[in-house]
Amino acid sequence: MGDSWKIFEDRFSDRDLARRESLFSIGNGYLGFRGFFDERRPAYHPGVFINGFYELTPIHYGEHAYGLAKYNQTMLDLPDCRYIDITIGEEDFCMSSSTVEHYYRELNFSTGILRRHVKWRSPSGISADMTWESLISLSRKHLGAMRFSLKTEPGIPVRVRSTIALPSERPRDEYDPRVSTRLMRPPLQQTGDTYRHHNGYYEMTSSFHTLESRLHLTCSALHRYDKDVFAAVEDNEFTLPFVTFTADSGTFTLEKCFYYHDTDSPDHQVPREEADASMDLAASLGFDGLAAEQKQELDRFWDACDVEIDGDDALQRALRFNLFQLLQSTGTDGRTSLAAKGLTGGGYEGHYFWDTEIYGMPFFTFTCPKTARSLVLYRMSILERARERSQELSQRGALFPWRTINGLEASAYYPAGTAQYHINADIAYSIFQYIDVTGDRSLLTEGTAELLFETARFWADLGFFNPRKGGTFCINEVTGPDEYSALVNNNFYTNAMAKYHLMRASDEAEHLKTAEGEYWNALCAKIDLKEEEISFWREASRRMYLPYDTELGIHPQDDSFLQREPWDFAGRPKEKYPLLLYYHPLVIYRYQVLKQADAVLALLLLHDQFPWYQRKRDFSFYEPLTTGDSSLSACIQGIVAFDCGDVDLGMKYCRDTSLMDIEDLHRNTKDGLHTAAMAGSWMSMVFGIGGFRMEGSVPRFRPQLPESWKMLKFRVKVRSSLLTVIITPEHTVYQVSGPPITIRHRSRQIELTDEVTVETRPALRGVIFDLDGVITSTDEFHYRAWKMLADREGWDFDHGLNMHLRGVSRRESLMIILRHNQVELDEATVRTYMDEKNRAYRESLHSLTRDDILPGIEDLLSQLKLQGIQTAVASASRNAGFILKRLELEDAFDFVVPAQEVVRGKPDCEVFSRAADALGLFPEECAGIEDAAAGIESIKTAMMKAVGVGEAVTESDNDLYVPDTASLRLEDILKLFE
Amino acid sequence: MGDSWKIFEDRFSDRDLARRESLFSIGNGYLGFRGFFDERRPAYHPGVFINGFYELTPIHYGEHAYGLAKYNQTMLDLPDCRYIDITIGEEDFCMSSSTVEHYYRELNFSTGILRRHVKWRSPSGISADMTWESLISLSRKHLGAMRFSLKTEPGIPVRVRSTIALPSERPRDEYDPRVSTRLMRPPLQQTGDTYRHHNGYYEMTSSFHTLESRLHLTCSALHRYDKDVFAAVEDNEFTLPFVTFTADSGTFTLEKCFYYHDTDSPDHQVPREEADASMDLAASLGFDGLAAEQKQELDRFWDACDVEIDGDDALQRALRFNLFQLLQSTGTDGRTSLAAKGLTGGGYEGHYFWDTEIYGMPFFTFTCPKTARSLVLYRMSILERARERSQELSQRGALFPWRTINGLEASAYYPAGTAQYHINADIAYSIFQYIDVTGDRSLLTEGTAELLFETARFWADLGFFNPRKGGTFCINEVTGPDEYSALVNNNFYTNAMAKYHLMRASDEAEHLKTAEGEYWNALCAKIDLKEEEISFWREASRRMYLPYDTELGIHPQDDSFLQREPWDFAGRPKEKYPLLLYYHPLVIYRYQVLKQADAVLALLLLHDQFPWYQRKRDFSFYEPLTTGDSSLSACIQGIVAFDCGDVDLGMKYCRDTSLMDIEDLHRNTKDGLHTAAMAGSWMSMVFGIGGFRMEGSVPRFRPQLPESWKMLKFRVKVRSSLLTVIITPEHTVYQVSGPPITIRHRSRQIELTDEVTVETRPALRGVIFDLDGVITSTDEFHYRAWKMLADREGWDFDHGLNMHLRGVSRRESLMIILRHNQVELDEATVRTYMDEKNRAYRESLHSLTRDDILPGIEDLLSQLKLQGIQTAVASASRNAGFILKRLELEDAFDFVVPAQEVVRGKPDCEVFSRAADALGLFPEECAGIEDAAAGIESIKTAMMKAVGVGEAVTESDNDLYVPDTASLRLEDILKLFE
C-alpha cells in the first residue's frame, strides 16, 4: 500500500500541534480521541469524547424573549484511559524539538492504527527509542487499546506512570462563535473508582456522572505488562491515583486496553454486566486481537466505499483520509449522529446540524445504507422533542432543532438557528433519498412516516396562501442555508425543499393508506391526521411560491435579495474574511454576499426540477457572490460547476473541500475536522466528476474527468445492485454485482447485467437548428415589414441597420430602430407598432413554400434521421411554427422550442438549452447551427458545439464554419465529437 | 388646593406595595427615591438612585458575533441615607394590616413632600401616632431631607435607629426582558465612613466606589434631634453602624438631612469642598428651609407647565402627577438624561432611549426650554462614543446607542436595539424642533451642528441609490419604532425621518457656511466634511424611498409589511398580551401586527408632509393592527385619532397614556413609572385636544374638546412669547405674554398681541362642489357615450344601469358594464374602449354652454364669494377643466382638483380632502355638495358637512338635503356650522 493510505509527519513542531491533534484523531463513531500525545503534553486540546455525552448549561441572554433556547449542550471532555507518562533515569519524557532526535507519526487508514515513534535524547544525554500505538476498535463499540514499547541502555531505570487522566481545561476563543463555550465548573463528578490486580492484569475503573444532564459514565483501563516490571499504586492529590511501572532491563513494554460505557438517558446507571463483558473482551483480545479485527473491519469498509484516483496523489490521500475520518466520527447506534466536527474537537460543541442529512448522509446512503438508516433512527428518537419545540413556537407538527445533541434546541442565536426551518425538509429529503436508493420502505412503518408527516404539517402551518403574491403559498421570516442573510421572506431553497417535502409526504400518505391500511389508521389516530390536511399539503406544494426574477432570469435567494446593495468584493480588504469575524451581522445582511451555497444547493438536490439553462444561469449569478466562508460551500459550488460544464472551477472547489483539513484551508482545523466538507469530497468525486444523479429510479452518470487524470473509480449501491464505475479518459466501465440494473451514461440508456464499456466522451445525439437564415431566409420579409413601418413614420432604416436585427426579438428590433432614430415611444405605441410589423410580416410569410428551404438542409435532416440523431428548432421567432408549416417541415423536427415561453432570448443559452432538454439530451451531446452572432454565443453558452453559417458570423467564433447551408456536412459535425 | 394636587392612599395593602413604591417616588432629576417606607420593610424594591450612576457587566452571548454590544450598564441601587427604624417599648415597628389602625400617605405635587401618617397599635397594645415626611430638593441637586415625629404614652421607651442602609437585592424576572438584570456580585465597594457629633448634629458620611465603571460616591446624613434624646453609635456586623436615639418622654422628633455626591467620570474623586458645602447647606436649611424652597420651586414649575382640566378630575390629577414625576426624573445637568423609568425603578436598567427625544422633549421644549437644552447637551457629551460605534459598524459618521447611560451601546438584542438606527434622526428631529421653537441657534455652534452632520453622514453611508427601486435612496435591514417587526427594508418611519434629517442638515450646513463662516471652516476641517457630502445628503433626501401601496393607498410600514400574514386578532386569546411574553419573535415578526405606533408616529412628527386624507387613511389602516403592547403607543395613536377627527378614540388613548401608571394599566408599574407615557399625556392634551402644531414658525391650534369637558387650559412658549390657551365648549381664549405673535385658530390667522377670544367650533370657510349633477349635468352625455359603445358591442345597457355609474371613474364604469354583461376583456382592449368612450363623450361636451349650469349654482357661488367663503371643485372627471371652460366657470372656483393625481376615487375621502388642503382649510371648516351616494360617503369620510342634492341620494345620509340645485341656500349650509 502506498502513501495514500495514511497521513504522517516526521518533524515535531509546536506550531502545528493544535491542527495535527485534529488530523490524527482516532475513533469509532462512539468513542473518539483527538490525536494528542499519550503523555498529554504539550497539547492544545487533549480531548476524549463519547458521541452524545454532554453537559447542559443555561444560556444567558442579555435580553430574553419568549421561546428562546434555554440550555446549551456541550459534548464533554472525558477522562483519558490511554494516558501514560514516562520517566527515563531521572528525566521526564516530553516532546520538544531540542530532545527529539527522530520523530515519525502516522495514522493508517487501512489498519486503523495511530503509531508514533520517537528517538529521544534526554537533556542529560540518555538515549531511548520509543513506540506508541493506539486504536479505537471499529468492531467493538466500547473498546480501545494502546501499546507502548521502549528500548534504552540496560541499567537505566524506566518509570511509566499510568492513570485515568482527568480532563484539562478546554481552549476557547470568546469572539469566534464557531468555537465551543467554557463550562463554568467541572461538569464531571467522580462517583467511585477501583484498583485491582486481576487475572495477572492491573485494572483501574472509574465512574462519573454529570451534574445537569445527569448522565453516567464508567471507564476502565486494563494494564498488561512484562513479568519483570514492578507495579505500584501511587496516590496523588490532584488527579486519580497513578499506577507506576518500573523496570531497568533496557526494554519495556506496556499494553493498555480500555473501555468506556455511558448511559443513554438521564439518571440511568451503566449496566455492570455490559462493562464486565467489555473488560473480559479487552483481556482476551489484547492489542493484537483488536488490531486484527480492526484490519478486517477496514478491509470491508474500503471494499464498499473506496474512491480510487489515478492522476492526483494528494487528492487520493485526502479522499481516503476524509472517508476514514467520516467512518470514525459517525454514530451508528441509532441514538447518536454525526456532529459538525465529529469526535475530533470541541468546535460547535459536538452538536448535530443539518450537515448530517445533506452532507453526510449521501455517502452512507450510497455506500453503507446501514449507517444511513441509523442516522434516520437518531432523528426518530428526538421526534417527541421536535413536536414540543414546534408547540413552543405556536406551530403545529414538529420542528427539529437547528443544533442539538439531546433533541432540545441549543441555538442561542435564533436568526441563524431556529429560523433555519429548512432542517425539517433536509431531514425529510434524506429519508426520501434513503428510501428511493435502498428500496427499504420498512423505515416508514417503523415510525418515519410519522416524522415525515409531522414535519410536513409544520410547513403547512408556517406558510400561508398570500393574496399579495397571487394566492401562492409563501413562507416568511426564515433563514436559508446562507447565513449571510437572515430572516427573509420566501427563501428559494427553503420553499423549493418544502415544496418537495409536502408533495412527497402527501404521496407517501396516499401510498400508505392503500398499502399499509392498519398502520395508517393507527397513525392517523395517534397524531390526529385528517384527509383535508393531506390535500392541503398537496395544494401548498403545488402553489408554493418560488421567487423568480424575469429581468435577470434567475431565482433570487429570497424576496429581497436583489434589493440589497452589491458587496464591493474588489474594494474590501482580503484579510477580512471570513466576514463574520470582521463585520456586524447588520452590515453583512445588507449586502448581496453569500457565506455559502443556498439557491445553488437547491439546484443540486432538486436538479431535475430546474432545466439546465436555469441551473447554469443561477449558478453564474451566485458563484461570484459566494465567499465560501462556510466549509459547507465548496463541495456544492464545485458539483454544480461540473453540472454547468466548468471542470476547472469544479476541480478548484473539489480541492478546497477535499484538502480543507489536511491543508487547514479554513485555519480552524485545530477545533476539529469539518465532517461535512469531508463527506462533500466524496460527493465532489461521485456527483461532480462522475456526474452521478438518481433520475427517478435510474442511476445516471455524466463523467467529466479532469485533464491530467488517468482514472477515477468509485462504487455506489442502488437497491441491491452494487455498481462499480471506472472512468478513464477514453472509456468508462460500468460493472454491476447483484441484480441487473438500468443505468444511463449521459442520455444513453444501458441495461447493465455484468459489465459494459462505453466511450467516455460525449457522442453527437442531437442537432439544433436556428430557423431564420439556416432553415430558410425570412430576413428580407422582416426587412420589408420594418421598412414599411419606418417609411411611414419617417425613420431612417436600411439593410445595414437590418443586419443588427438578426436573431434579435421583435421588441428589441424595434428598440434598435428607435434608438438609431433617437425616437422615444410610450409602451402602448410600441406595442401597436410591434403588432403592425408582425401583421405585415406574417402576411408576407404566406408567400413561403417548400422551395424556400435553404440548400442542403433537407439532405442534412435525412442523414440525421438515418443516424438516429435527433433534431430541433431553436428560434426566437413566434412565427416558427407557421413558417415550418409553410415550408412543409412541420414534422421534420423532433421538437420546436415555443418562443413565447423563452424568458431570455439569444445570446442567452436558454433557447438552445430548452431544445436539448426537450430531446432528453445533455448540451455536450448536441451541436447547434446558427447564422447570427447572438445565436452562436447562445450555442456556446449552452456548452454545445457551434456550427456557424454565412457572412454574419466569423470562422474563429465557431467550432465549425461553413459559408452557406449548402456546405453543411454531417461528417464535419460528427468530427467535432471525436 | 383640591385632590388633584396629590396622590394618596389610606389603606395599607401588601398587594399594592410594589406599584405604590413607584407611584410615591420622589426625586429631583439627579437623586431619586422610590416610595418605599423609611424602615425599608415590607418593601418590593427600596431603590435609591442617582441619575447616570451605573455599574458595567459583560454581556454574555450564547453565540457571539462581531460588533455586538459588550457591556451592559445598570443604574445602581445606592445606600439609603433616609433610613430609620423604630422600636416602641420592646416592639419593632413594621407596617402590617393587623397593627396599623390608621394609615394615610400622600405625595403632594404642589409642596413636593411625601408624607405618611400611621396610628399604630403594637402587638402588646401600645399606641403610637407617627408621621414621616420627606423630600428631595428640587432647588438643591444633592440634598434631601426627612422628618419623623412620634407621640405615644409617656414612659414608653422609644428607640429610633438610623444609618446609611446598604442596598438589598433587587427583584428580578428572568423571562421579562423589560425588567433589569441581577448583578453577579455587590457592585458597590465601601471605601470609608465617618461618624461624628458636629455643631450639635450627628453626622454620618460614607464613601463608595464601583468595581467596573470606577465611579465614586459620597453620601452623608445629618441628624437633628431633641436635646432630651440620647444618641449612641451601635456597631453591626452586616451593614454600616447604627446611630440609636432613645427617649421616653412620649414624644420624639428626628430630622435627617442628607446629601449624595458622585463623580461624572471614571476614577475621579468626589470633590471634598462641594460635599462640605452641601453639608453646611443641609445644616443651615434643615427640613423646613428645604421645604420652603421646594414650594417656591414648584410654584414656578406649575406656573409655566400646568395643564388645567375642568370636567374630568381623574385626568386632571393624573396629568399633574405625570408632569410632577417627569420633573422629578429628568436630568438637567447636561451629563444625564431622562431614563425610560426615570428615577423610579430598575426597569430597563435606568437606560436612556429615543423616548427622551421623541416623547419627553416636546413637553420641555414648549414649557421649560432650559431642560430641553440640557437634554441636547447630554447627547453632545456622548457624541465621541457614537462616532466610535459607527466605525465599529463599518459606517461613516456617528450612530447613537439604542440604550445607554454612559454612551456605549448596551442593547444585547440588536434586532430591536442597534438596528433601530432611527434614534439618530429622532435626536436630530428634537434638536431641530428645539431650535425652531425657541429660536435658540447658539446650540448649533456649541457643537450640535457637528452632531447633526455626523448623524446625517451615517444615513448617507447606510443607504444607497437602489437601481431596483428606480434609483431611489433605500435603507435596508433596519428596525423601526414598532418592535413587532425587525430587520426590514425601507421602514417608512425611518426613511421619512432620515429624509427630514438629511434635508435639514444640508439646509443648516448652507446656513452656517454663510452665517458662521469661521465656525463652519473649523468644523469642516475637524470632521473632514466636504461640499460633495452635503449635496449628497440633499440628493439622498430628495430621492428618499418612501414605501407606498397604490392598491390600498397607504404607506406600508416597510417593503414587506403587506406580504405578512394577517394576525388573527379575534382568534388569539386575550390573555396572551403583551405578545412578546407569549410568542417567539419568529412568530410575531411574521404577522401584520404592531407593538406600537410606527408609520403613525411619522404622521404626527412630519404632519405637514402628508395631506390629511393620507394621514387618515394610514391611521385607519394601522389602528386595528396596533396592540399597544408598548407604553409608547397610546399617546401617539390618540393624538393622530384627534387629527383624524375621532375624538372618542382620541380620548380613549388619552386616558390610556395618562392613567397608565396610576391605574397600572400595563401591570408593570412596580418596575418604575413610564416616563414616555407621562410626557405623552401632556402631548395628548396639547397636540391632541388642543390640536397644537407648529406650522413652520406659526403655532396653530385646532381644539376638539371632549363632550363633557368644561375647559382645558395649557401654556406653550414659542420663542419669547408665552401663550396661554383656554378652551371652553363655546370659546377659545388665546393670551400672550411677551412679544406679539401670529397664531392660527384652525385655518384662521390671528395676530395676537394680548388676548383674543374666538368661537371654539369651526366656521364654514369653504364649500366644495361635485361637478356632474351639481354644477352641470353631463349624465346624459356619459350615458350616450357608453350606450354607443354598448350598442356596437351588443352589450345590455340602459338608464337603470347608468345610475350605478354616477361618481364612478371611467375604468370602474366600464367594469360595471362588463360585469353586468359577463364579458371579460384584456387590458389593451379595456384601454381602447375607455379611450373610445371618452372621445365620444368629450366630442359631445362641445355642445355645453353657460346655459347648462344647473339652476341656483351661480347664485350660490356669488353669495359665497361675498361672504369670503372659498370654493373648489372635487370631481373624478378628467374632463372637469374642459367642462368648466365650456360653462364659462373656469375662474369661478378657487381650486379644481386635478383628477389624474387622485390615487383613490370616491367614496374615498381623497378628492374632497385634496380640495380642502388646497384651500388651506381643515375638513371641519368645509361643506361638500354632491348628487351621488359615493360622493356623499366621500364627503363624510372627509369629515366635512355633507349637502346632498337630488334623487340619487337620500335625506338621511346627509347633513343637509335638497331635492335639486335650485333649492341650495347658503343660509341652510351656514346653519350646519352653528
Q: Per-residue pLDDT tens for B247-257?
A: 999 999 999 99
Q: Per-residue pLDDT tens for B50-59?
A: 999 999 998 8
pLDDT band at B963 (very low <50, low <70, confident <90, very high): very high
Quote the minimal CA–CA distance from B12 to chain A in Å.
34
Asked if the Cβ–Cβ distance from B476 to A559 is below 8 Å, we say no
Question: Is residue B731 pLDDT above 80, yes or no?
Answer: yes
Q: Per-residue pLDDT tens for B97-144?
A: 889 999 999 999 999 999 999 999 999 999 999 999 999 999 999 999
B412 → chain A, closest CA residue? A62
Asked if the Cβ–Cβ distance from A60 to B62 is below 8 Å, we say yes
Report pLDDT for B1. Answer: 42
CB A965 within 8 A of CB A753: no
Asked if the Cβ–Cβ distance from A412 to B61 is below 8 Å, we say yes
Among the partner-chain residues B474, B562, B583, the one whose CB lies closest to the CB of A66 is: B583
Question: Is residue B649 pLDDT above 70, yes or no?
Answer: yes
Quote the minimal CA–CA distance from B486 to chain A in Å.
9
How many percent of chain A have pLDDT more than 70? Answer: 98
Report pLDDT for B63. Answer: 83
In angstroms, rounded to a whole number, what is the distance separating the alpha carbons of residues A402 and A418?
A: 6
Question: Is residue A396 pLDDT above 80, yes or no?
Answer: yes
Chain centroid, CA B156 distance in Å: 55
Going by C-alpha positions, the residue among B358, B326, B361, B328 that lies closest to residue B658 is: B326
Mean pLDDT of A924-943: 94
Cα dihedral across residues A45, A51, A56, A57: positive or negative: positive
Report pLDDT for B173. Answer: 66
Dihedral pair phi/psi, residue B217, rounded to 5°: -145, 135
How many percent of chain B have pLDDT more than 70? Answer: 98
pLDDT band at A234 (very low <50, low <70, confident <90, very high): confident
What is the enclosing helix (H) or strand (E) of B145? strand B143-152
pLDDT band at B74 (very low <50, low <70, confident <90, very high): very high
Report pLDDT for A744. Answer: 98
Helices (H) and strands (E) in chain B, counts: 28, 38
Q: Per-residue pLDDT tens for A518-572?
A: 999 999 999 999 999 999 999 999 999 999 999 999 999 999 999 999 999 999 9
Report pLDDT for A804. Answer: 85
Mutate to test the interface with A, among B63, B72, B391 (most CBs of A within 10 A): B63
Q: Per-residue pLDDT tens for B418-471?
A: 999 999 999 999 999 999 999 999 999 999 999 999 999 999 999 999 999 999
**Which residues in B lie closer than 8 A to residue A182 (C-beta atoms)?**
none
In angstroms, rounded to a whole number, what is the distance separating the alpha carbons of residues B52 and B343?
A: 10
Pairing of strands B472-474, B464-466: antiparallel
In angstroms, rounded to a whole number, what is the distance separating the alpha carbons of residues A437 and B16?
A: 68
Can you name the residues that pair with A817 across neighbouring β-strands? none
**Which residues in B lie closer than 8 A to residue A559 (C-beta atoms)?**
560, 563
Is A483 a known active-site residue?
yes
Chain centroid, CA A539 distance in Å: 30
**Which residues in A lie closer than 8 A to residue B586 (C-beta atoms)?**
67, 393, 414, 418-419, 477, 487
Asked if the Cβ–Cβ distance from B477 to A590 is below 8 Å, we say yes
B558 → chain A, closest CA residue? A560
In angstroms, rounded to a whole number, what is the distance separating the alpha carbons of residues A857 and A299?
A: 59
What is the enclosing helix (H) or strand (E) of A727? strand A721-727
Question: Is residue A240 pLDDT above 80, yes or no?
Answer: no
Question: Is residue A1 pLDDT above 60, yes or no?
Answer: no
CB B403 within 8 A of CB B418: no
Question: Is residue A239 pLDDT above 80, yes or no?
Answer: no
Q: What is the ipTM of this complex?
A: 0.92
From residue B384, alpha-carbon distances to B63, B293, B451 in Å are 29, 38, 9
Can you name the residues that pair with B145 across neighbouring β-strands? B135, B257
Q: Provide the 3-class DSSP secondary structure of residue B974.
A: helix
B487 → chain A, closest CA residue? A487
Mean pLDDT of B767-773: 94
Residues 6+ apart with CB under 8 A from B527: B450, B453, B454
Report pLDDT for B175. Answer: 62
Q: Per-residue pLDDT tens for B915-954?
A: 999 999 999 999 999 998 999 999 999 999 999 998 878 8
Q: Per-residue pLDDT tens for B803-819?
A: 888 777 888 899 999 99
Question: Is residue A836 pLDDT above 70, yes or no?
Answer: yes
Which alpha helices (H) appear in B516-568, and where do they start and end?
517-527, 531-542
Pairing of strands A472-474, A31-33: unpaired
Helices (H) and strands (E) in chain A, counts: 28, 38
Which alpha helices (H) appear in B874-925, and where do they start and end?
880-886, 910-919
User: What is the strand order of the sheet B158-162 is part of?
Assistant: B91-92, B84-88, B158-162, B242-247, B230-234
Residues A659-691 as b or e (16 or more Cβ within 10 Å = b) = bbbbebbbebbbbbbbbbbbbbbbbbbbbbbbb
Which alpha helices (H) appear in B52-103, and where do they start and end?
none
Q: Which of A483, A910, A924, A930 is catalytic?
A: A483
Provide the phi-psi class of A208: left if phi over 0, else alpha when psi is between -120 and 50, else beta. Answer: beta
Task: Report the alpha-carbon angle A93-A97-A101, nearest 5.
Answer: 75
Q: Per-residue pLDDT tens for B361-394?
A: 999 999 999 999 999 999 999 999 999 999 999 9
Q: Per-residue pLDDT tens for B297-355?
A: 999 999 999 999 999 999 999 999 999 999 999 999 999 999 999 999 999 999 999 99
**Which residues in B lie closer than 8 A to residue A479 (C-beta atoms)?**
none
Q: Per-residue pLDDT tens for A431-483?
A: 999 999 999 999 999 999 999 999 999 999 999 999 999 999 999 999 999 99
Residues A211-248 as b or e (16 or more Cβ within 10 Å = b) = eebebbbbbbbbbbbeeebebeeeeeeeebebbbbebb
**Which residues in A lie closer than 8 A to residue B348 (C-beta atoms)?**
none
Pairing of strands B926-930, B766-769: parallel
Q: Provide the 3-class DSSP secondary structure of residue B544.
A: strand
Question: Is residue A737 pLDDT above 70, yes or no?
Answer: yes
Tell which wins on pLDDT, A252 or B63.
Answer: A252
Among the partner-chain residues A393, A412, A489, the one whose CB lies closest to the CB of B63 is: A412
Q: Per-residue pLDDT tens for B852-904?
A: 999 999 999 999 999 999 999 999 888 899 999 999 999 999 999 998 899 99
Q: Average pLDDT of chain A?
A: 94
Preceding amide of A79 cis, omega within 30: no
Mean pLDDT of B515-538: 96
Mutate to test the interface with B, among A183, A399, A477 (most CBs of B within 10 A): A477
Dihedral pair phi/psi, residue B949, rounded to 5°: -125, 130
Can you name the residues that pair with A732 across neighbouring β-strands? A727, A758
Asked if the Cβ–Cβ distance from B586 to A414 is below 8 Å, we say yes
Mean pLDDT of B701-725: 97
Tell which wins on pLDDT, A751 or B226.
Answer: A751
By the 10 Å C-beta count (0-12 exposed, 13-18 middle, 19+ buried), B361 is classed as buried
